[in-house]
Structure 1
Amino acid sequence: MSENRSHTLTLPERLPLLAVLGLKDTEGTDWPRLRALQYARVGRSSFARVGTHSVIAGLAFWISWGQVGAIALLAWLAALGCAASVFARQDHKLGKAAASTLSRKDAKHHAKGALAIGLVWSALLLFVAVTGQPGALETLWMIAMLVPVGSAIFLGSAPLSATVIILTTGSTAAGLFAWTGNVEAAGSVTILTALLLYGVMTRAEAFLRACVAEGGMAEKNEVVSLLLREFEENEADWLWQIDTNRRIRSASPRFAFAFGVEPEEIEGMPFLQLISGPAWDTGQFPTSLHDLAERLKRRENFSNLLVKVTLGSEHRWWELSGTPMLDQKGRHVGFRGVGSDVTEQRESSEKIAYLARYDTLTGLPNRLMLNEALGEAMRYARQWRSRSAFLMIDLDRFKAVNDSLGHLVGDRLLAQVSNRLKEILTENEMCGRLGGDEFAIVIRDASDAGTVSTVAKRIIDRLSQPYEVDNHTLYVGASVGSAVAPRDGNSVEELMRNADLALYRSKDLGGGEHCEYEPSLHASAEERRQLEFSLRKALERDEMVLNFQPVVDAHREEIVSFEALLRWQSKDHGFVSPAKFIPLAEETRLIVPIGTWVLQQACIEAARWPSHIKVNINVSPEQLIEPDFAPTVVRALAQSGLEASRLEIEVTESIFMRDAQVAGAALEEVMALGCQVALDDFGTGYSSLGYLRKLRFSTIKVDRSFVQGAAQGSNESLAIIRAVVAMAESLEMSTTAEGVETSEEAAMIRSLGCNKIQGYYFGRPMTDVDARKLVEPKLPGTQISL
């Protein structure tokens, strides 16, 4: 679009007088361009005005001869010629302004030329009024009034210049008539001047609005031409036309190009036959072709109709719009429309739809599609009064694979899991991935007794078999939770939630189990929710307390340390077992602030004990992976004044199953401070000598299960304790036996070589006050009476 059309011409509904005159620009209007159109019209009438002006000047000169001195009259004529010549040159210059813009300064300059013309004519009227005979002024005015009238006619599109001439000559004539006492003539001149000014203003505004309308129409025509040009140049769109027999007529080159042929090759060919391909012979048409044929048959308009066409051996998607054609008598003569090939867009849409409904890693249906499938299965069950089921599957020990071997190996393992699930399922079941290591099964018809249990057992058995991934042999199991509709839920959300509760129960049982939903699980889940809510406020409410259990020297039976044990006396739930709230705290990561509080309080209490007695504090893996664990230990020691050598951190083997590198680095920082680190519950988890090689533990604690087993004569437990003791001695570590409850067990442990003993025989967990009383009376060594 050209530069002078860069702005749309608009005018407000009401135009101010100054805006019409061109002395003020209103917002939203391209006034420079409008002024150019106004003065271009003036320039085109320049020769007509010059000729008319010459005739009027000649008549005025003839009438004024003898009324005004010859010299003065000749001087006037010369002045008029100069003013008219300058004004004509300005007209000629402005006549070229249609293709550009015009400023207010240019318009005012033109008005100055008009003022010169008006003043010259006013001077002649003045000369005649002063020196002429009575009645000469009236005679001259009869000729001179043609000047403002002509200005109103020829300069109407440029109202500022016309107004200047009309006001100058009109006010001069009215004033002179009033001076000479001809009041009637003065009044008529005033009325004429006002009428001329009104006419100029009206004509000028009409001209402006006509220019705006003309400019708008030109822009619309240009936009339409541009759109048509773009449509014709766009190879993806074409025009099509068929007659009443549905044969192609007036095939355009674009339309023929869509078929891959020349226009004359398809002219007169059946349209539907061409786009149906081999289906024309078999009669098995796509649904979209049936729809197109019906619309053509009913002679109705259609728009953006998606049609599957076959061109040779290739399938394409066309988007067609069509309108029936009628002749002058209103008879149907065919169809005409536009079309485009949208195959690429269709394929992209299908790909997006696939990604929205399928998991990219495993190729299984995702949560969205599982929701839809479960909803359909539940509707089927209601319709036929049968049952459907939903199974949630969670892989056991998968996190250990991810943490130890990386996410790439984990992803490949998930792909193998999905393949196994596909293999064992029938047409009655649909498998999908919910996310992470969670999968789900929708059983459409679970009416037969034992169907759900059979499928669950098949899943657990198959997924528990070893996997080979990147030269690694991996073992992961599966836990399954199930819910049956309509017994366990009447909506998709309810059934999925109940299956999740059952899965949570199977994980609590240790994994590798299938649990069916029971109403009691809701009570457990609600209890857990309330427990978590109270746990979040336990520290604020000062509900946490520390108990201390003594650890004694195996031979001297003197207290060498206390293990700090966390207890929770909830205002809402009463006493809550550590076995119940500690796992919850670890799962919700509340163990981090709680563990920090335990560390601080235990150090403060230990600082009150004799200097040879240490404090043992259990630390969760969740605490160790916190970046500021070591600084937290430093702050606790600094605030309490406890020597670092009197603090022993107890950890379990589970720290190596989370993020071994981060946990190991944190413990090394703690040991660098002078603190000691004990390995608790050794032998009960995934015990490995590699753990002992990674970190220099000060103590290995023998789990109470081995102590109880040895007391009952278990050769395996005795062998394990001897092996642990021997290994600890060779690594210059001490050993502590837990769970000693009788003197016989204490004697046995002593004979097996353990250095320290902990258990009810030597003291149950006690309050800080009782622990202090136990060690304060007998210093420096305190022996516990049996």
Structure 2
Amino acid sequence: MSRTNPSSTAPVVPDWRTVLGLTEPNEFDWGRVRAAQVNVTRRLAPLRLAISLLGIAVLIGMFRGHAPSLLLYGWGGLCSTVALLMAHGQLRNRKWQVQTATQSELHRETLWSTLVAVSWGAAPLLFSRYCSPADLLLMWAVCTTLVAATAFGLSVLPLATGFYIVVMTTCLALGMWSIGLTWVAYVAAVFGTLMTLACLSAGRTFIIHASAGLALAEKNEVVSLLLREFDDSGGDWMWQTDASKCLTHVSPRFAFALGMDTEMLDTKPLLQILAGAAWEAGNFSAGLRELAERLKMRESFSDLILPVTIGGEIHWWELSASPRFDERGSFLGFRGVGSDVTAQRRSADKINHMARFDTLTGLPNRLQVTEALGEAMSEADRWRSKCAFMMIDLDRFKAINDTLGHPIGDRLLTRVAERLRGMMTEKELCGRLGGDEFGVVVRDASDPARLNRIAREIIETLSKPYEVDQHTLYIGASVGTAVGPRDGRTVEMLIRSADLALYRSKDQGGGSHNTYEPQLHVHAEERRVLEIALRKALERNEFTVHYQPVVSAEGGTIESFEALLRWNNPELGNVSPARFVPVAEDARLIGPIGEWVLRTACQEAMRWPDHIRVAVNVSAEQLGHPGFVTSVISALSHSRLHAHRLELEVTESVFMREGTGAVAVLDQLLALGVRLALDDFGTGYSSLGYLSKTKFNTIKIDRSFVQGASKNAPEALAIIRAVVAMADSLGMATTAEGVETEQELATVRKLGCRKIQGYLFGRPMPAPEARRLFDVDRAVA
């Protein structure tokens, strides 16, 4: 590689011919110095034009009415034309920095300056005879101001400025001489001489400083490149091309990086070497195309990254370079440095992959899914088509996670991801949103039937059994779909709409698919308002407890009451438990509300006869709380109610949600003497295993079976007979719920149910009304 002689870049003290631009010594690149001079004149072009036009306006205004109009306006037009023509070229290229300039460009500036000086110098020659003393003074001021401003502002061009000053002051002196002001003419001549000398001195100083700065920059560039080439890390190398983009003076490290000899690389085209086998096919990478464009435009570039195939393996190189020019401005080629950044690139790719893909399943994560949905919505808007977003939630996944542990749950999620990935086509993208939620971006949603088929296929595929670590696992899936832009014009709105549709699918028990409807948003808003009011209901004493009697099937005597929560809100009125209980469970409010019901029911039961029990419903949320047993003990202790008079009702869903943890809690309650009832038996996830592990005192038969049996439905009759027989064999009582007619009463009595609950014997009633039932019994007795 060629080395630059340090002496060639050292600044020299120029002689006056060089300062004036008449010669250019070979030992320095004077083209860049001349470019610095030209750039200064371009920057000052607007100011020069403004001053010239202002001066012309002042003199025309001063001589109007004194000098002949044709002469005056002719001079003004000539001066303005010359000034505008000179400024035109400079203003047009004012924003572009000249890199190199020739002597001819300097001489062009000298010519224009001389023309401007001649046009302005004509003023004192033509109009001095028409001046009053005051006007003469003003013209003197204008001319000397122009001379002084040019001398100080444009001294970077000594020859052009010198000609301007000499012509202007000579014309000014001759004008003063012509009207008999001899001493003033001498002063003008002396003033012009001093300004010329000052201009030449300032111009010489500027040129010396400019050449020194450029020489220093050249040295710094060379030193920087050399330091990078010989850095101890050995990771960087230098490269250089000639004007035809072929390698010259190949660095040994550059050749080593390519796995080739320096002789093989010398005079070879740089682009061909970097392209490798792709050179013939023309299949170039984007980085190589950008490099070719920069080389073609002869532009500097920095940190340009492109792939290079070496030994059959792709490496990533980072290149930086600048064009080289000789003192005449001729292009010599490029000189630059390069380094192998393959390790950094792979690390960055890995980080980028981690930022956009889920680490557990390998699916796109929420970020990438959101971006893909945004792109799909943009495409749909552009082509006036439709896209869709499907939100998927796994059913019964939490039960598996809780019972078998998170490692099994994680492996199950990977199997779910594999099945989802296998269902996707190029028109869909599936990703994991978090937890057991997944999302599918459907780029073409013009066919509603196709969306429904995709959703049904997802539900059916994910509901098939899984074999994970010798466990056969069964889960399901719920799907909610929103179509854009109909259901949302932004990504956030469309995801929100799909979430609302999914919420309806979950409310339906899972395993279903729903599409967003505007009414869902209304329901969501109602639910939000309901939750806000529910959070304040306890402290505002808006809750009450009603009691529904449970009687013996034979004698019809009251055996217990079921405590039922009621809510009366000042704004919402009487709110059905079917509406507010699910909201309370989702908002984690059921715990404090349930504890309040338990305390209130126990205190009320103390006002009843000693043989009457009270039944309180317990949700899965309450049963899973670590302090639930303690709250039961506290309620019994404060009310002084015997434990055998309290019956807690649970549904089968608590076992599916909490696994074996529910059995342990129920065993603790049984040990206290509390009675247990299994509510809604046969309507949920029935399992005889729970009945064998937990000693329930009562099994409650759901109203749907009672109604069916009264109509002689074979299935309902068979179920009730089976439940009664099983309960009798296990020493449990059976309670028929929802008995409203005499026919239903006769049917359940005939089938062997021991207890009856329903409107036929009493609706849920406030506590005082429940107490009056005992007064009536005493009066009858």
Shorter-chain TM-score tier: 0.5 to 0.7
CA distance in 2, matches of 1:550, 1:503: 39
In terms of mean alpha carbon deviation, does 474-483 or 564-573 score higher? 474-483
Shift of 1:594: 0.3
- C-alpha contact (below 8 Å) 2:364/2:430 kept by paired residues: yes
Partner Cα distance (2:725, 2:780) in 1? 28
After superposition, the Cα gap between the structure-2 partners of 1:370 and 1:631, relative to the gap in structure 1 and judged at 3 Å, is: same
| Equivalence for 1:685 | 684
Q: 1: CA distance between counterparts of 2:747 and 2:304? A: 89
Aligned-residue offset at 1:558: 1.8
Q: d(CA) in 2 for partners of 1:689 and 1:461?
A: 27
SS at match of 1:547: strand
Q: More displaced, 678-687 or 740-749?
A: 740-749
- The C-alpha deviation readout for 1:286-306, integer Å capped at 9, x for no partner, is 121121122122222111111
CA–CA distance in 1 between the matches of 2:662 and 2:621? 9
Write the mapping of 1:475-624 to structure 2, written as runs, cut at 5 A. 475-624=474-623
Is residue 739 of structure 1 aligned with residue 738 of structure 2? yes
C-alpha contact (below 8 Å) 1:478/1:513 kept by paired residues: yes
Amino acid at match of 2:437: E
- 1:297 & 1:545 partners in 2: Cα distance? 85
Partner of 1:312: 311
String of CA shifts for 1:661-687, please: whole Å, max 9, x gaps. Answer: 332222222222221111111111111
Q: Is the 8 A contact 1:482 1:502 kept in 2?
A: yes
Amino acid at match of 2:566: R
Residue 230 of structure 1: how far off its partner (Å): 11
Distance 1:755 1:270, change over 3 A: same
Check the 8 A contact 1:570/1:576 in 2, yes or no. Answer: yes
What does residue range 138-537 of structure 1 map to in structure 2 within 5 Å? 228=227, 232-448=231-447, 450-537=449-536
Partner Cα separation in structure 2 for residue 473 and residue 638 of structure 1: 45
Q: CA deviation at 1:262?
A: 5.0
> Does structure 1 retain, via aligned residues, the 8 Å contact 2:399–2:659?
no
Which one is further off, 655-664 or 747-756? 747-756
Q: CA–CA distance in 1 between the matches of 2:515 and 2:654? A: 32
Percent identity of equivalent pairs: 61
Q: CA deviation at 1:727?
A: 1.8
Structure 2 counterparts to residues 713-724 of structure 1, below 5 A: 713-724=712-723
What residue in structure 1 maps to residue 185 of structure 2? none
The residue identity in structure 2 corresponding to 1:460 is I
CA RMSD of aligned residues (A): 2.5
Gaps of 5+ in 2: 1-219
Distance in 1 (CA, whole Å) between partners of 2:402 and 2:332 is 74
Name the amino acid aligned to 1:635: S
Aligned residue for 2:536, secondary structure, equals coil
Q: Secondary structure at the match of 2:489?
A: coil
Q: Deviations over 1:366-392 (max 9, x none)?
A: 222222222222222222222222222
Q: How many residues align?
A: 559
CA distance in 2: counterparts of 1:733 and 1:514, whole angstroms: 40
Question: Which amino acid in the other structure matches residue 689 of structure 1?
Answer: L
Say yes or no: does 1:653 pair with 2:624: no
Which residue number in structure 1 is paired with residue 169 of structure 2?
Answer: none
Distance 1:670 1:496 in 2: 44
Does the 8 A contact of 1:564 with 1:616 survive in 2?
yes
SS of match in other structure, 2:679: strand
Alpha-carbon distance between aligned partners in 2 of 1:671 and 1:450, rounded to the nearest angstrom: 53
Please state how far the C-alpha of 1:476 moved relative to its aligned partner.
3.2
Contact 1:430 1:442 in 2 (8 A): yes
SS of the residue corresponding to residue 537 of structure 1 reads helix
- TM-score of the pair, normalised by structure 2: 0.68
Output one character per residue of 1:222-243: Cα deviation in whole Å (capped at 9) or x when no partner.
xx99x95996101222222233
Say whether the 8 Å CA contact 2:228–2:237 is kept in structure 1.
no
2:663 aligned with 1:664: yes
Query: Are 1:697 and 1:733, in contact at CA under 8 Å, matched by a contact in 2?
Result: yes
- Alpha-carbon separation, structure 2, partners of 1:724 and 1:377: 55
Instruction: Give the whole-Å Cα distance in 2 for the aligned partners of 1:474 and 1:451.
Output: 29
Q: Residues 455 and 433 from structure 1, CA distance in 2 versus in 1: closer, same or farther, beyond 3 angstroms?
A: same
SS of aligned partner of 1:732: coil
2:306 & 2:271 partners in 1: Cα distance? 11
Q: Are the counterparts in 2 of residues 559 and 782 from structure 1 also a CA contact under 8 Å? A: no
In the TM superposition, what is the alpha-carbon distance from 1:356 to its structure 2 partner? 1.9
Partner of 1:85 in structure 2?
Answer: none
1:343-371 Cα offsets, whole Å, 9 max, x none, are 11111212222222222333322222222
- 1:322 shift after superposition: 0.8
| Contact map agreement 1:274 1:311 (CA 8 A) in 2 | no
User: Unpaired runs of 5+ in structure 1?
Assistant: 1-220
- Equivalent residue, structure 1, for 2:727: 728
Specify the structure having the higher radius of gyration (Cα). 1
Q: Give me the TM-score of the superposition, normalised by structure 1.
A: 0.67
Q: Distance in 2 between matches of 1:371 and 1:574?
A: 41
SS of the residue aligned with 1:754? coil
Does the 8 A contact of 1:609 with 1:776 survive in 2?
no
Q: Do the aligned partners of 1:624 and 1:662 also contact (CA within 8 Å) in 2?
A: no
8 Å CA contact 1:277–1:312 kept in 2: the answer is no
Distance 1:231 1:538 in 2: 77
